[in-house]
Amino acid sequence: MAEINGAALIAKCLKQQGVKELFGVVGIPVTGIANAAQKEGIRYIGTRHEQAAGFAAQAVSYLRGHVGVALTVSGPGMTNAITALGNAWANCWPMLLLGGSTDLAFAHRGGFQVAPQMEAARPFCKWVAQPARVEDIPHLIEMGVRTAWYGRPGPVYIDLPADIIEAMVDEASLTYPGPVSPPIRMAAPPELVAEAVQTLRSARKPLLIVGKGAAWSDAATEVRRIVDSTNIPVLPTPMGKGVVPDDHPSIVSAARSYALKNADLIVLAGARLNWILHFGMPPRFNPETRVIQIDLAQEEIGNNLPATVGLTGDLKAILAQMVAQLEETPWKCDDRGAWKAGLAAEVAKKKTELKPALVSDEVPMGYFRPLQEIQKVLPRDAIIVSEGASTMDISRSVLENYQPRNRLDAGSWGTMGGATGFALASAVVHPERRVIALMGDASFGFSGMEVEVAARHRLPITWIVFTNGGIVSGVANLPKDGPLPVNVFQPGARYEKIMEAFGGKGFYCETPDQLARALRTAFDSGETALINVAIAPTAKKAPQTYSHWSSR
Ligand code: ADP
């Protein structure tokens, strides 16, 4: 049989594992891997910075329900992708990072771009590995995909020294482990499920919190069946949005604080009681609340709040068990009781409070009216990538999601700089969907050059940049004397021209009408476009009672 080199072998193994696309930045020693991947029929998307490749790979994982892959060169190329590894770790998303590294022969002689890459990746990874011989590659890639995907998902790093990538091996001497099967959906012990259902029946003020674990578990059908059969109020986390459509009558997002503070039983479905949910602590949570917690990771059960009933396993499987029991002996949350009435009144109050900002003709615009213009034209299956503190936070309450895994944002780590990679991945995985990348100008600054990738690959992403000229706020003009405020950028920046530089369409808008026209033209064009929305440098969020990063 013929000989094969390490690069071709890596590509062949990725193909065997069902990898459909590879994001990366080529150079020494990994260009051969990208070329070989293309020969295998894997789509190669070259990004401008390794961080975007890493973010795109994990978004591919989330959107496909598989393991996405990123490729970097050695040394600084690999370390550029570490934030992406950290983000995948924090969000419990699988991904495989393949990092080229200096020749083993020169690793201790000052080799080109030598770096402790394994050590750098290790804190954020479920597993890191380096093949000792080219023959080890099939096993390591299979184990990498398996480890990233099975159990609680997370990132894996495989280090690929240049001399292993270039080494030749007789194909006849190799064994291939074959593709990793999708994870088995573990059910919970029936007696614990019965206890959970019994506990639910005893609640007067139940609340179902749906997290992105439910989206990852593909549990939307089961969640809907529980919700529709019990009428339980539903509060999605930011990326849990869409598992139950935002316009479903059981959704109480507008009454979030009221719901958390008053619920006497929380069904926590694929979400963690971390900062996003205020650690499950007072004053945001009712100190008497009981919890039915469902999570793939048993070590998560009881974290911050003891679980009244903890169900470990796959959410889709466990919810199906609960549905079966509830169908045998139905139970409904009292639709005419004080709990539902209180929630409905709070939802109505919040919506009324929001209304003037949503229809305001004020120029310069604030956040709400332009978001409302976007909401009006988004199809129900649009993928909304959103990033930037205020732009993202406010967009959550204005832009609706109707399908699971249709919102990708700064997530569990509050990461800035991931959205462009997420948008690229969304357009690659779902070419049939409208993809918007809604970003604040601060967020866009982290990785804005990646719009070139979208133009080059003809990915019809609509980037929408809300420009207030700073972090949190900006200034209309820079002061002539004295130090510049620490949070401001160049006022009046024309980010749309960056898009035009690469042949995409650029739009600049100062009024709601201009934005409405720009959205229509951008969507109709089928091309990559960037809409720069100038908002007031001092535009504000609605006042909040509590800061969102603490329990206080
Ligand atoms: P959110 O940010 O939406 O609150 P988190 O990332 O904090 O969500 O939590 C998601 C949780 O879902 C994690 O604890 C993870 O272990 C869990 N999870 C992931 N996949 C599954 C699954 N298939 N079944 C059950 N739980 C899951």
pTM of the shown model: 0.97
Q: How many domains does the chain have?
A: 3
- pLDDT tens for 230-253 read 999 999 999 999 999 999 999 999
The CATH number linked to 40 is 3.40.50.970
181 is a domain residue:
no
- Check pLDDT > 50 for residue 536: yes
Instruction: Write b or e for each residue in 416-450: b if 16 or more Cβ atoms lie within 10 A of its Cβ, otherwise e.
Output: bbbbbbbbbbbbbbbeeebbbbbbbbbbbbbbbbb
Amino acid at 112: F
- Check pLDDT > 90 for residue 544: no
Residues 332-349, mean pLDDT to the nearest whole number? 94
| pLDDT at res. 160 | 98
The answer to whether residues 96 and 222 belong to one domain is no
- Check pLDDT > 80 for residue 345: yes
State the distance from the centre of ligand 1 to the C-alpha of 327, rounded, in angstroms.
26
Pocket test for ligand 1, best of 58, 217, 274 (most atoms within 8 A of CB): 217
* Residue minimizing CA distance to atom 18 of ligand 1: 213
Residues 113-120, mean pLDDT to the nearest whole number? 97
The answer to whether residues 138 and 279 belong to one domain is no
Distance CA 21, CA 176 (A): 20
* Residues whose beta carbon lies within 6 Å of some atom of ligand 1: 91-92, 152, 211-213, 216-217, 237, 239-240, 270-272, 274, 276, 295-297, 300, 314-315, 412
Which domain does 374 fall in, by range? 360-534
The answer to whether residues 332 and 407 belong to one domain is no
State the distance from the centre of ligand 1 to the C-alpha of 333, rounded, in angstroms.
25
* Residue minimizing CA distance to atom 20 of ligand 1: 213
State the distance from the centre of ligand 1 to the C-alpha of 467, rounded, in angstroms.
33
208 is a domain residue:
yes
- Check pLDDT > 70 for residue 546: no
State the distance from the centre of ligand 1 to the C-alpha of 544, rounded, in angstroms.
27
State the distance from the centre of ligand 1 to the C-alpha of 207, rounded, in angstroms.
17
State the distance from the centre of ligand 1 to the C-alpha of 503, rounded, in angstroms.
40
- Check pLDDT > 90 for residue 307: yes
Q: Do strands 3-5 and 168-170 pair parallel, antiparallel, or not at all (unpaired)?
A: antiparallel
The answer to whether residues 365 and 313 belong to one domain is no
16 is a domain residue:
yes
Distance CA 543, CA 242 (A): 26
280 is a domain residue:
yes
Which residue from 350, 382, 355 is spatially nearest to 368, judged by alpha carbons? 355
Pocket test for ligand 1, best of 91, 296, 408 (most atoms within 8 A of CB): 296
State the distance from the centre of ligand 1 to the C-alpha of 212, rounded, in angstroms.
6
127 is a domain residue:
yes
Identify the residue with better confidence: 541 or 115: 115
State the distance from the centre of ligand 1 to the C-alpha of 214, rounded, in angstroms.
7
Distance CA 276, CA 269 (A): 14
State the distance from the centre of ligand 1 to the C-alpha of 347, rounded, in angstroms.
27
* Residue minimizing CA distance to atom 4 of ligand 1: 271
Q: What does the block give as tokens for 30?
A: 């990994």
Please tell me what DSSP assigns to residue 535: B
| pLDDT at res. 542 | 64
Please tell me what DSSP assigns to residue 470: B
545 is a domain residue:
no
Radius of gyration of the chain (CA): 24
434 is a domain residue:
yes
* Residue minimizing CA distance to atom 5 of ligand 1: 271
- Check pLDDT > 70 for residue 54: yes
Of all residues in the chain, the percent with pLDDT exceeding 90 is: 97
The answer to whether residues 75 and 11 belong to one domain is yes
- Check pLDDT > 90 for residue 96: yes
DSSP E strand boundaries for 394-495: 407-408, 435-440, 462-467
The answer to whether residues 16 and 161 belong to one domain is yes
The answer to whether residues 202 and 153 belong to one domain is no
Instruction: Write b or e for each residue in 111-140: b if 16 or more Cβ atoms lie within 10 A of its Cβ, otherwise e.
Output: bebbbebbebbeebbbbbbbbeebbebbbb
Neighbours of 173 (CB within 10 A): 10
- Do 167 and 6 meet the contact criterion of CB atoms below 8 Å apart? yes
Element housing 383 (H / E): strand 383-387
Distance CA 455, CA 230 (A): 47
State the distance from the centre of ligand 1 to the C-alpha of 296, rounded, in angstroms.
7
- Check pLDDT > 50 for residue 549: no
The CATH number linked to 214 is 3.40.50.1220
Of all residues in the chain, the percent with pLDDT exceeding 70 is: 98
State the distance from the centre of ligand 1 to the C-alpha of 269, rounded, in angstroms.
8
- pLDDT tens for 447-463 read 999 999 999 999 999 99
The residue among 311, 344, 377 that closes a domain is 344
* Residue minimizing CA distance to atom 9 of ligand 1: 271
List, in order, residues 6 or more apart from 128 with CB less than 8 Å away: 118, 121, 122, 156, 157, 158, 159
Pocket test for ligand 1, best of 216, 218, 405 (most atoms within 8 A of CB): 216
Residues 333-349, mean pLDDT to the nearest whole number? 94
| pLDDT at res. 336 | 85
- pLDDT tens for 293-306 read 999 999 999 999 99
The answer to whether residues 202 and 162 belong to one domain is no
546 is a domain residue:
no
Answer whether the bond into residue 370 is a cis peptide, omega within 30°: no
State the distance from the centre of ligand 1 to the C-alpha of 279, rounded, in angstroms.
15
The answer to whether residues 214 and 315 belong to one domain is yes
Element housing 95 (H / E): strand 95-101
| pLDDT at res. 5 | 98
Residues 34-41, mean pLDDT to the nearest whole number? 98
End-to-end CA distance of the chain: 67
- Check pLDDT > 50 for residue 552: no
The answer to whether residues 340 and 391 belong to one domain is no
Pocket test for ligand 1, best of 272, 278, 303 (most atoms within 8 A of CB): 272
- Of all atoms in ligand 1, which is nearest to the CA of residue 276? 4
| pLDDT at res. 551 | 45
The answer to whether residues 409 and 484 belong to one domain is yes
The answer to whether residues 122 and 156 belong to one domain is yes
C-alpha angle 340-257-215 in degrees, rounded to nearest 5:
85
Pocket test for ligand 1, best of 66, 152, 185, 267 (most atoms within 8 A of CB): 152
Q: What's the burial of 411, exposed, middle or buried (CB within 10 Å: 0-12/13-18/19+)?
A: buried
- Of all atoms in ligand 1, which is nearest to the CA of residue 295? 26
